[in-house]
Amino acid sequence: MNEKSALAAFHVQVSGRVQGVGFRCTCCNEARRLGLSGWVRNEFDGDVEVWAEGAAEKLDRFLQWLQCGPPGARVDHVRCEKRQPTGCRAFEIKF
C-alpha cells in the first residue's frame, strides 16, 4: 500500500499550557516537515485545535508530537477524532 491510498485525517483538541509557548508555530513546522496539510489555531478556552490530513503513518507521528508539544508547553490532555480528509493543500496557522 502506498501513501496515496492511506490518506486519513484527524481533529485534535490539545489542553494544558499550550498557548503563549510557541505551540502553533512549532506545530505548523512539524506538520509541514511531515508533509501534512491542515491547520492549527488557539481556542478561547486556552486549548489548541488542530486539523491534519495526510498519510496515516505520518499522522501517527504527528499525533505523538502533539502529545508532548514544543519545549515550554505542558500537554495535559489530547482528544483525537479520526475524520475523512477534505483536500487541504497546505498546513497553516489560523488566527
* Residues annotated catalytic, as ranges: 24, 42
Q: What pairing do the DSSP bridges indicate for beta strands 7-17 and 37-42?
A: unpaired
**Exposure b/e, 52-83, CB count within 10 A at least 16 = b:** bbbbeebbeebeeebeebbeebebeebebeee
